[in-house]
Structure 1
Amino acid sequence: MHVPFSLVDELDRVLKSAAAAAGFDAAAFSPEVRVADAQHGDYQANGVLGYAKSRKQNPRALAEKLVAALPAEFTQSTRVTIAGPGFINFTLAPGSLLAWLRTYATAEQLAAGAAADHAGQTWVVDYSSPNTAKQMHVGHLRSAVIGEAICRLLAFTGARVIRDNHLGDWGTQFGKLIYGYKRWADPAALAADPIEELERLYKLGHHATPEGSPELEEAKRELVKLQSGDPENVALWKKFSEVSLGAFQQIYDRLGIHFDHHLGESFYNDKVERVYGELTDIGLAENSDGALVVFHDEHPRFSRNAERPNPFMVRKADGASGYASTDLATALYRTEHFQADGIVIVTDFRQSDHFEQLFLTVKKWFAAKGYRLPQLHHVTFGAVTGEDGKALKTRDGGTIKLKALLDEAVERAFAIVSEKNPELPEDERRAIAEAVGVGAVQYADLSQNRSSNYVFSWEKMLSLEGNTAPYLLYAVARIHSIFRKAGATPGEPATESAATEPETPTEIALARKLLKFPDAVRLATETLRPHFLSLYLFELAGDYSTFNNADRVLVDDPVIRARRLLLCSRTLLILETGLRLLGLRPLTRM
């Protein structure tokens, strides 16, 4: 028996077939299947209303005609009702719920079911992207966490994902850093905390080279030497990059992030001349006061006739490249070298204008040259603020370092774990605290709509109540404890073989929620908004809690026990799978 992973896809297929049998114009009819409110059923099809309106027919009568054309085997396993002017509601029978739960019993089976959405596609995801020789701070958190979740969702739905950390590793700041390094470097400090020392040296170099000073001219000469390939300065630049990547990786390891490439701005330094030449040859770029720029006259903000013209600066008047130059070269490289079908760039909302102009330019450029155009997505996010609504800062007004933020989260989690489980060995409490503390920071971000600012609250994010990482991780640990008490292993066929269809209202409600997992994954992936998956997991944990409170699992009756352990097992599977997709590490004890 074939059990489809996505019931939305299956209903879409069945309804299109029935529409053709009922004499609809199959090419013009779209079923518009979506997840329904629970009181109406599992799914709802709304497409009859628009179809009837376009043909000036009675939508209810057409809905009845469509339902009458559904195959008998379908209506035997799914209750179909018509509501209002022609909404069609579908409620799965308990036997269909059990069949799905038996079919998708492992993480591999879930992934195989989800893989159809992006099978055969290659997606490049550009995220995190800190500047080298500087410490990562709280402002780098959202790009890293959101970008990693998007990578995992795309990979789960079948894509080949290439993770690219587009480092800020080139530019004028390196002249000042080299100037400072050659004068004030402290070998002991470099050995103990190299990136802290590089930040100190840059600040010294910056303050020692004010505008118009001979010292600034000296720093500029250091930069020219670097750009010209001077061995000493290139060796220093490479050293800065290596120690920076080492420091970044310590944070990435804690967040569960790995990159396939660290192709920073420097990588594209020798690739911008092709961009200048091609944009000029096709007449897209033009000279404006010595600079090479692109105007998008069809756009109200980027037109030459706008109130404040804001052209896309492809090359500066002094001949230097900038963000636009390297970003255009990057788009071409990812399309040609990686054969990308989709490109996702994750940055904060303040860069929206830049990427809107970048994508407009790429689309015109690629069309003129006949290049294949991948999907282009700029994933933006709001700011992290304190409870006063202002940017999150240290007590003395400085920027919070990301390492310090994670350390504090883990220490706070350790205090909570130690209070609740003082009998556990310290190393186990430390391991739990690392997963809970880091997970709490990640999830506080991912549970928010990324377009919004969000308020950073230690009390809320570490709470065992509400839509938090500790609440979900604790739900997972509770289910593991049930299996320990039962002397059984989650997902073990022998434990579940006697299970029958769900019967009680809470069993049925939980089973119905479990079947919505594919819809949550698809919505989060298609919109590139992980919070849709977070919300689903929170609701699933709530439905499980209701079931667990109403229906005792470890009863004597072997059939009921097997049925309820099956529901526990699948809840555990989907909670753990979903949490891993968000980058969190589930726990068996907490």
Structure 2
Amino acid sequence: MTAPFHSSFPSASRSFHSLRRRCPHAPSGYYRAASKRFLATKKTELPSAMSGEATKSARLEGQAAEDGGDRAGSVKQQLSKLFKASLSATVPDEPNIEPLVEVCTAKFGDYQCNNAMGLWSRIKGKSKEFRNPNSVGQALARNLPPSDIIESTSVAGPGFVNIVLSDKWVAQSIQKMLLSGIGTWAPILSVPKAVVDFSSPNIAKEMHVGHLRSTIIGDTLSRMLEFSNVEVLRRNHVGDWGTQFGMLIEHLFDKFPNWEEAGEQAIGDLQEFYKASKRRFDEDSTFMERAQRAVVRLQGGEVRYRDAWQKICEISRKEFDLVYQRLGVHLEEKGESFYNPYIPGVLEELSHKGLIEESDGARVIFVEGHQIPLIVVKRDGGYNYASTDLAALWYRLNIEKANWMIYVTDVGQSQHFDMLFSAARRAGWLPDSNGNLYPKVSHVGFGLVLGSDGKRFRTRSSEVVRLVELLDEAKSRSKTELKKRLEENGKIADWTDEELEKTAEAIGYGAVKYADLKNNRLTNYTFNFDQMLNDKGNTAVYLLYAHARICSIIRKSGKDVEELKKMGNIVLGEPDERILGLHLIKFAEVVEEACTNLLPNVLCEYLYNLSEKFTGFYSRCPVVGSAEETSRLLLCEATAVVMRKCFYLLGITPVYKI
């Protein structure tokens, strides 16, 4: 069910001021606006069969196993299956024990099972078969089913079972990936459908660096989940409704009485237009009264006001799409205006459940652990950020049937989301936060972008930095450095203008994204063009050049890699070959960890370490012309394939030529 299309708006007493984030349009296809709707004068009826109580908590692991297809899962998942069987055989009277398998950091193995100590504390005194944790570990190793994965096991200290992977199996796994595609290495997650709510600027305002972080992080999380075969609903919850539209519309009517004929030229620079209308609103009481009446007329559905509102939203969408095009980000808009018809019905449901109370003239939900309540209807009867978000959460649970709702905003909104989620749990919409039950919600907070002075990143005139200008400068600097590099090594004549342009874009935009994503998102980071465009160290430039060098090695060999995949074999005979191979096959579990913990920097760390391990391999293992050329070219190709997928997941375009 969706809300019907109406030509009228909620009554003036039900207006709300846009308190947060969020907006765009997409002639290019980057942005689809789904909230070009008009808000109903009466509430949208909620489907009785889909009330919050109908959303049942569940574990979804079985679904993940069924939907795995040709994917075997990560190495850790495959080892966990083996140890699950061993646990059942070792302690049949202790059901539901989950294997604890981790990458081994010592020199005794590649992976390690750490169940023995915990298991010993449960069975101590129940059986004479086990004398101590070490004996439990010995039994776990002994009861492992036969498998091509494991070369050998050993038990250390209090029962840690160390596992050495079979070199042959590692080599075959890489070769199968080359033949069948990197998709076979996608992790198997236990969630079928997720909503990722990100970017979300406000109509009539510029996108700034805060929106850059939300957009980049949200896009990467979406890409990783999509790669893991999760259905992702990319949502842009734009600020497209609120009292500010009264002043914008009246200012438009005053300055351009025939604004319909002038079109977008009447408004010009939307940011300056917003500032001018805001000055008049603050300084001119007569204009302020007219602006307030304009909100009433807009919400009453007067055609002239409605059309002006639509035009302002349309111009904003086009402006924002310039950013999305540069970043290669795709979203679907469902903004504040989309969810407004659902608010009365959602609040009525919460009232019937006894959650909403009167407090100082407002209607609120008291949340345990917080001194202030969650205000859902203001004293003047208007809705706010919380009422809209409750309606959006209800819609995502009951209409879109999402299992995981992920909200990507700055850490300053952590308290709001904590209260929102707690209210939803009180309503019975969500299971208790303890445990791994679905549906679930997550707030993905992030820190500030700082300037070189350690303060919030702004221009010299203390204005918010416009994202389009920021990205264009990154591309321009990248192009200057690229041309300089090519002129110095005498290769500039080999490049077309189009190649220069596209490579500069890939490096410039990629540098901005990677500089953000490589940091733990919770921390602040300093925006510095010189550092992010450096071709040494942990930067996108270094990694893109590393990928291009691998492609160059393969080209210079003169061999057809596609034929080598079919006819050749990978052999991990040297230590550096094995080190590289082991790192390659950990790709799936790294993506799984990054998805599970919503931390893109985990993938960045893996990518940088992969390039470092390849450098070690290439410096000590000759490739072209060596006796092991075929095997090593295939390792080069596997490294390039995994790097390209990492770039894709991070929203970065790979470079093949330097």
Same fold (TM over 0.5): yes
Contact 1:3/1:103, CA 8 A, preserved across alignment:
no
Counterparts of 1:20 and 1:51, CA distance in 2: 12
Contact 1:381/1:452, CA 8 A, preserved across alignment:
yes
**What's 2:351 paired with?**
280
**What's 2:484 paired with?**
419
The yes-or-no answer on 1:86 pairing with 2:194 is no
Contact 1:444/1:469, CA 8 A, preserved across alignment:
yes
The yes-or-no answer on 1:567 pairing with 2:654 is no
**What's 1:381 paired with?**
446
Counterparts of 1:568 and 1:365, CA distance in 2: 54
The yes-or-no answer on 1:347 pairing with 2:409 is yes
Q: Which moved more, 1:54-63 or 1:136-145?
A: 54-63
The 1:377–1:564 alpha-carbon spacing in structure 2 relative to 1, beyond 3 Å, is same
Measured after TM superposition, the shift of residue 512 of structure 1 is 0.8
Contact 1:180/1:202, CA 8 A, preserved across alignment:
no
Contact 1:3/1:99, CA 8 A, preserved across alignment:
no
| Match for residue 525 of structure 2 among 405, 429, 454 | 454
**What's 1:225 paired with?**
297
Counterparts of 2:657 and 2:596, CA distance in 1: 34
**What's 1:334 paired with?**
396
Other structure's SS at 1:209 match: helix
Contact 1:97/1:501, CA 8 A, preserved across alignment:
no
Measured after TM superposition, the shift of residue 113 of structure 1 is 4.0
Instruction: Provide the identity percentage.
Output: 37
Q: Which moved more, 1:2-11 or 1:475-484?
A: 2-11
**What's 2:548 paired with?**
477
The 1:38–1:110 alpha-carbon spacing in structure 2 relative to 1, beyond 3 Å, is farther
Counterparts of 1:189 and 1:147, CA distance in 2: 38
Other structure's SS at 1:502 match: coil
**What's 1:235 paired with?**
307
Counterparts of 2:240 and 2:360, CA distance in 1: 28
Counterparts of 1:434 and 1:316, CA distance in 2: 47
**What's 2:145 paired with?**
71
**What's 1:548 paired with?**
618
**What's 2:10 paired with?**
none
Kindly provide the CA deviation profile for residues 538-581 of structure 1, in whole angstroms up to 9, marking residues without a partner as x.
Answer: 00010001111111110243xx1110011001100100001101
**What's 2:425 paired with?**
363
The yes-or-no answer on 1:405 pairing with 2:473 is no
Measured after TM superposition, the shift of residue 38 of structure 1 is 6.3
Measured after TM superposition, the shift of residue 427 of structure 1 is 2.6
Measured after TM superposition, the shift of residue 6 of structure 1 is 1.3
Counterparts of 2:653 and 2:137, CA distance in 1: 46
**What's 2:133 paired with?**
59
- Please provide the CA RMSD for this pair: 2.4
Counterparts of 1:508 and 1:141, CA distance in 2: 39
Measured after TM superposition, the shift of residue 4 of structure 1 is 3.4
**What's 2:11 paired with?**
none
Counterparts of 1:314 and 1:95, CA distance in 2: 61
The 1:205–1:42 alpha-carbon spacing in structure 2 relative to 1, beyond 3 Å, is same
Other structure's SS at 2:652 match: coil
Contact 1:118/1:157, CA 8 A, preserved across alignment:
no
Other structure's SS at 1:366 match: coil
User: What does 1:264-275 correspond to in 2, within 5 Å?
Assistant: 264-275=335-346
Kindly provide the CA deviation profile for residues 503-532 of structure 1, in whole angstroms up to 9, marking residues without a partner as x.
Answer: 011111100110110111010000011110
Q: Which has the higher contact order (CA 8 A, sep 6+)?
A: 2
| Match for residue 133 of structure 1 among 194, 204, 207 | 204
Amino acid at match of 2:394: L
Counterparts of 1:38 and 1:464, CA distance in 2: 32
User: What does 1:525-544 correspond to in 2, within 5 Å?
Assistant: 525-544=595-614
The 1:194–1:328 alpha-carbon spacing in structure 2 relative to 1, beyond 3 Å, is farther
Contact 1:142/1:445, CA 8 A, preserved across alignment:
yes
Counterparts of 1:170 and 1:21, CA distance in 2: 61
Amino acid at match of 2:321: Q
Gaps of 5+ in 1: none
| Match for residue 13 of structure 1 among 77, 81, 100 | 81
Kindly provide the CA deviation profile for residues 370-405 of structure 1, in whole angstroms up to 9, marking residues without a partner as x.
Answer: xx9621111110001112211011122211101111
**What's 2:169 paired with?**
96
The 1:94–1:589 alpha-carbon spacing in structure 2 relative to 1, beyond 3 Å, is same
Kindly provide the CA deviation profile for residues 129-172 of structure 1, in whole angstroms up to 9, marking residues without a partner as x.
Answer: 00011221112110000000000111111111111111001111
**What's 1:442 paired with?**
513
**What's 1:42 paired with?**
110
The yes-or-no answer on 1:317 pairing with 2:379 is yes
Could you tell me the TM-score, scaled by structure 2's length?
0.83
Contact 1:495/1:562, CA 8 A, preserved across alignment:
no
Contact 2:197/2:237, CA 8 A, preserved across alignment:
yes
Could you tell me the TM-score, scaled by structure 1's length?
0.92
Counterparts of 2:537 and 2:306, CA distance in 1: 52
Contact 1:576/1:586, CA 8 A, preserved across alignment:
yes
